[in-house]
Amino acid sequence: MALDPLPLRRSAAPAGDDGSSETWPGPTAETPPQGCNLAHAGRYTAHTAGRVLVTDAAQPTAPAADIAAMPFEAALAELEEIVGRLERGNVALEDSIAIYERGEALKKHCEGLLRKAEARVEKITLSADGRPRGVEPLDVDR
């Protein structure tokens, strides 16, 4: 059974100190509900049916269609965040697969942007007396 970290349903969890059986995240997901504690920055620990589920509290990733419009720096930053989440291992299996697939798409996008940037870089050629005489494509294999 895969547990979807967002939203985390607490129906099987022990009631909070006030006896509530709230559903989280709600409209104010900035703070954990009663019965949850902030275990580490960005992660919440929830007790559900005698088990402890630790999950990243990060927002779900955006659809893959938005990747094509992302600038290199934004795509690389998200890719680094994905690598960190997967390395921490605090993501359910199904979510890990989806996150990994998005990471692959981001990696391919970054590689494509780098290839385009390399193709645009030109080398300034100099004349015998050291003056610039023009440009030619940069040969990165030399």
**Amino acid code (one letter) for 64:** A
Give the pLDDT band (50/70/90) at residue 124: confident
Q: What is the mean pLDDT of residues 62-82?
A: 90
Integer Cα distance of 37 and 57 in angstroms = 12
- pLDDT tens for each residue of 15-66: 444 444 444 444 344 444 444 443 433 444 444 444 444 444 444 455 667 9
CA trace torsion 120, 74, 95, 90 (10° rounding)? 120
Integer Cα distance of 72 and 107 in angstroms = 10
What is the percent of the chain where pLDDT is above 90? 35
